[in-house]
Every structure is written in C-alpha cells, then in structure tokens.
C-alpha cells in the first residue's frame, strides 16, 4: 500500500524480485551453525588416530589376499551348498516366527487401538528389538544357546520384530477408522472388529513386509553367521580363518548372486501386491 502511494501517479509499482527465505532466518545463527559444523569436521579429521604407515602396509596385504583369492575355488561346493541351505532355513524360520510375533505386537503398539499402558509396553518391546544391531544380538544369543543355527534364528526373529512390528503398527495407526466405527455400531466384538475392519486394511502391507523381511533376513543371516550363528556366514568365517581366500571369494560371489535374485523376486512380488 505504501509503495502505491509513494509512486504518486497511476502506474502501479510492480515488485519483480523475490528470494526464497533462508532456512534459518537469523544470519548470525545461520553462519554460526555452518562454521560450527565445518570446525567440528576439521577437528575430528585432524585428531583421528590414523596410522598412515599401517594403512599403506594394509594395501599390500589386501593385494596379497586378492591375489590368493583368484581364481575363486568352487572345489568344496558341497560345503557351500550346505551353508546356504542352512542360511535359507534360518531366514525362513526367522521370517515366519518374526512376522507371527510382529502381528500381535503391532496391535499392542498402535495408538488408536491399544490402551495407553499396553501401547507403551508394545512400543517398549519394539524399541528394545530395534536398538541393537543384529550382530550384537547374535553375539548375545551365541553366548546364551551356543554356536549354530538356533542362535541365528533367534537373532533374526528379534531383528524381524524390530522392523515388521514397527512398520505394521504405523500402518494400523493410519487405517480408515470409519470401518471400525461401522462394526462397533453393529455391536461386533473386539476380535471380530479386528478381523473384519482392520486386518483387510493392513493385509497388503503385512504381506509386503513379510516378503521384504525374508529377503532382508537372508542377507542378515550371512552377517550374523560370521559371529557364530550358523549358515553361510559361518562357512565364510571359517574359510577366512583358514586363509582359503579362493573359497572365500567363491562364497562371496554366490552370496551376492543369491541376494540379487532374492531382491528381484521380492521386488516383483511386492509390486504385484500393491
């Protein structure tokens, strides 16, 4: 308005430049934050204990390992297949068990379904399941139940719960509550309401998560095997321990191949469902 009156005559003043307002408005804070981030990164990099000489030696050692790894040896393919079959078993058992446990947990951890105290319990269990990396969980289970596939299955059940129950709970919180209201107003029991109004809504997500988790568990089973929880990971760790780098490379190649295939499979299936 003031611009209009200043110009006096009939031609209105047109503003023709505009700048996106900065993310942090106060310039002192804005430049301060940038400076602080830069300073912290430089200090960390300068004070990090890096033994350059050792790193240089490592390069040489790495070349020796790679040299020993070529050509990959499939001589003991029997051992390789056995390890893989065990990994598959671990992944499948863990996925089925994890998903079965995740469904009730997800209902417990959904704000719109569960009473406050149960909600907190459910969320608590999920947070605990999520807070440790599977390798750490695997170390605990190997200590508890000994080396072998059982430790692997238990580890991946925990890992599956952390992922599937959390995302499923979030899906339950997003449901169209009108359908629940409709069944409530018909006098349906809680279980009937869950079965008719909630499960059909979350089913596609549940199936998608289950398939994704199977794929993810297969990958993770190779990693937790290295700390003693059975499967192909254990075979790989043994091969490294015995300096059989050529066999180790063969195992790694097969792991990559299998994971690519399983990822493609799960991608196709999940696309079909949604």
Three-class SS state of 26: coil
- When the beta carbons of 188 and 237 are compared against other proteins, the nearer one is 188
> Closest distance between other proteins and the C-beta of residue 187, in Å?
3
Least distance from other proteins to the Cβ atom of residue 195, Å: 6
Query: Which residue has 């700048």 as its token pair?
Result: 19
Tokens of 142: 């190997």
Radius of gyration in angstroms for the set of CA atoms belonging to the chain, rounded to a whole number: 28
Distance of alpha carbon 189 from alpha carbon 194, whole angstroms: 9
Tell the smallest beta-carbon distance from residue 175 to other proteins (Å). Answer: 10
Q: Which is nearer to other proteins, 73 or 201 (CB)?
A: 201
Q: Which is nearer to other proteins, 107 or 141 (CB)?
A: 107
Alpha-carbon distances, residue 169 vs 35, 120, 131, 145 (angstroms): 40, 12, 17, 30
Spatial contact of 166 and 104, defined as CB atoms under 8 Å apart: no
CB of 98 to other proteins, least distance (A): 23
DSSP letters spanning 84-140: HHHHHHHHHHHHHHHHHHHHHHHHHT-TTTS-HHHHHHHHHHHHHHHHS-HHHHHHH
Report in angstroms how near the CB of residue 176 gets to other proteins at its nearest: 8
Name the residue nearer to other proteins (CB basis): 144 or 192: 192
Q: Which of 230, 234, 252 is nearest to 156 (CA)?
A: 230
- Is residue 174 within 8 A of residue 108, CB to CB? The reply is no
Residues at the site binding other proteins, with contacts judged by CB under 8 A = 176, 178-179, 181-189, 191-193, 195-197, 200-201, 203
Nearer of residues 179 and 252 to other proteins, judged by Cβ: 179
Report, in Å, the least distance between residue 208 CB and other proteins: 14
Nearest residue (CB) to other proteins, 201 versus 238: 201
């Amino acid at each position: 308005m003031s611009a209009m009156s200043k110009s006096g005559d009939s031609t209105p003043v047109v503003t023709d430049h505009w700048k996106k307002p900065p993310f942090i408005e106060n310039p002192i804070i804005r430049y301060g934050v940038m400076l602080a981030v830069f300073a912290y990164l430089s200090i960390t990099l300068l004070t990090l204990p890096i033994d350059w000489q050792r790193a240089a030696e490592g390069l040489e050692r790495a070349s020796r390992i790679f040299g020993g790894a070529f050509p990959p040896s499939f001589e003991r393919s029997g051992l390789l297949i056995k390890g893989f079959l065990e990994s598959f078993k671990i992944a499948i058992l863990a996925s089925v068990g994890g998903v079965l446990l995740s469904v009730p947990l997800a209902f417990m951890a959904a704000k719109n379904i569960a009473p406050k105290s149960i909600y907190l319990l459910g969320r608590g269990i999920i947070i605990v399941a999520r807070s440790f990396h599977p390798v750490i969980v695997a170390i605990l289970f190997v200590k508890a139940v000994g080396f072998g596939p059982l430790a692997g299955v238990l580890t991946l059940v925990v890992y599956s719960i952390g992922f599937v129950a959390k995302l499923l709970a979030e899906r339950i919180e997003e449901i169209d509550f009108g359908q629940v209201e409709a069944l409530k107003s018909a006098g349906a029991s809680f279980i009937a309401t869950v079965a008719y109004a909630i499960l059909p809504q979350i089913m596609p997500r549940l199936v998608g998560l289950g398939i994704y988790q199977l794929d993810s568990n297969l990958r993770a089973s190779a990693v937790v095997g290295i700390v003693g929880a059975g499967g192909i990971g254990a075979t790989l760790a043994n091969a490294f321990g015995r300096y059989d780098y050529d066999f180790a490379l063969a195992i790694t190649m097969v792991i990559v191949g299998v994971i690519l295939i399983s990822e493609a499979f799960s991608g196709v299936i999940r696309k079909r469902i949604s």
